[in-house]
Amino acid sequence: MSSGVATPNLSKPVDVAEYLFTRLYQLGIRSVHGLPGDFNLVALDYLPKANLKWVGNCNELNAAYAADGYARVNGMGAIVTTFGVGELSAANGLAGAYSEHVPVVHIVGCPSTISQRSGLLLHHTLGNGDFNTFANMSTPISCAVAKLTDPSQIANQIDATLRECYLKSRPVYIMFPTDMVEKKVEGERLETKINLDEPANDVEREDYVVNVLLKSLHAAKKPVVLVDACAIRHRVLDEVHGLIDKTKLPVFVTPMGKSAVDETHPSFGGVYAGTASAPPVKEMVEGSDLVISIGAMKSDFNTAGFSYRLSQLASIDLHSDSCTVRYSEYPGTRMKGVLRKVIQQVDVSQIVALPPPKLPAIESESDPKAVINQAWLWERVDRFLREGDIVVTETGTANFGIWETRFPANVTALNQTLWGSIGWAVGACQGAALATQDESGVQKARRTILFEGDGSFQLTAQEVSTMIRHRLDVILFVICNDGYTIERYIHGMDAEYNDVVNWRYRDLPAAFGGTEETAKSYAVHNRGELEALLADQDFNDRKGLRFVELYMPREDAPKSLILTAEAGAKRNAMTE
């Protein structure tokens, strides 16, 4: 740790590691994911001094997924890896966070500046004396890269990099040499928190966009609001609800925007995903003469194979870094400022607010011996969910099926629809459950519920041990249907490469160190067994891990998945 030697020109000298970790704490982070390695070990000794908890994951990829899930619930996450072998293992997870606008701080312990200058042939290198290769690899998946090599600049670098992480809501990369860990920087800076205020919009541009939007809204006969993932990531949900509360406009979400809007709100109309939407939803959104789109991410899986049928002439798109009014784009005009002015200035007497479409009634009775199919499951789930739950769905049947589930108030949904790395959800679930535990404590933490395919689960199953280790409140449903269902519908329904080995899943919590107190396993094979389990008070109220084998037919899939997979297969087959 610190040598205690005074440093000239610094009024309150602190070690760099303490400065960095204290900044993380000030940004709301309470737990740091990752794995130890010889280039980060001394830095990790400083975590307790900053009141940060070390998670200790099973591998760096899982840790990156977990830091992503933690950030989605907490607002920001952090991961520490070691140079080369560790950071490259985490790269896929961090690329997903970049793709999906999730703010994660990636700290990489690396060889000393002396070793780097000398070009030593060190372990964890490519053996060519180039110590910037891996930082260069991470640059395209980071919104900022900081190499902490000059103590006189390190504090500025850390603050600027963390500010970028927050404002751009994307990962940053901090290269932390071993000989910089105990260098001194000005600790007095820590008395002032990093300024996280968004830059103000250009007033003339912002006012123009607001005026056009208001004129269009006041003239529209069938306006709707469509909310997507970047409204969540870039923190405008208060403004979204302010708009719909004041105008009473019908509001819809995309699959990636699921839970962005309170689904008990009288203006909520459902999930819009082009041709995969419920018919009344599709009719209302596509028949609108003004779509106010907030935070759109129009990816293939988010639009059911690019099946949107929305006229750009009837659309106003609000984004984190620009606004588009019909065909005119206004770079640098951020949606938060625009929305706030719209809410202030809108004349509700001129608003035509149609009621949202009515959703069909859910069947309450079912043959208890019937198989659990996709159509039945996702409509049944909403009666199991509670206000405040965190719901994590894996790429595959769960990501698509959850569209049909109506959430109680204050539910947070996590999915990775754009990046779509199977196995992500297990790590993300661990991170999300830890984030709510950090916020509220073990006894008052929100339930975190994961729906995970058996094929995806096999990629990242080890993180169940981390859930048990930290006594996280998790309900984990493994959908046992013999392999990669989404892949089967794209290509190879009966192909061997889409099969997986049938594990004894329910035995895993015990194998991973679970006890009767910390983990309990279940298996359900039909609707009656699932109904009984979901109604069981102990299952609902006990703390710790509840691990459920949920058996479903091999070739059964949500309609939305089938439509999207068909569109994907057609695109893959295109030759020009």
How many Å separate Cα 130 from the centre of its chain? 34
Catalytic residue among 487, 499, 531, 556: 487
Active site residue 60: yes
* Residue 127 CB coordination number (10 Å): 8
Catalytic residue among 28, 56, 59, 124: 124
Active site residue 487: yes
Active site residue 481: yes
Active site residue 38: yes
Which are the contacts of 399, defined by CB distance < 8 A and separation ≥ 6?
Answer: 255, 301, 393, 415, 416, 417, 561
Catalytic residue among 201, 415, 481, 498: 481
Q: CA torsion sign, 409 to 382 to 488 to 462?
A: positive
* Residue 321 CB coordination number (10 Å): 13
The answer for 305, left when phi > 0, alpha when psi is -120 to 50, beta otherwise, is left
Instruction: Write the DSSP symbol of residue 277.
Output: S
Catalytic residue among 51, 123, 188, 502: 123
Catalytic residue among 96, 109, 420, 423: 420
Instruction: Write the DSSP symbol of residue 175.
Output: E
* Residue 569 CB coordination number (10 Å): 13
Whole-angstrom distance, CA of residue 376 vs CA of residue 369: 13
Active site residue 123: yes
3-state secondary structure 226-260: EECHHHHHCCCHHHHHHHHHHHCCCEEECCCCCCC
3-state secondary structure 425-464: HHHHHHHHHHHHHHHHCCCCCCCEEEEEEHHHHHHHCCHH
Distance, first Cα to last Cα, the chain: 61
Looking only at the bridges linking them, the beta strands covering 315-318 and 290-294 are parallel
Active site residue 420: yes
Which are the contacts of 153, defined by CB distance < 8 A and separation ≥ 6?
Answer: none
Catalytic residue set: 38, 60, 123-124, 420, 454, 481, 483, 487
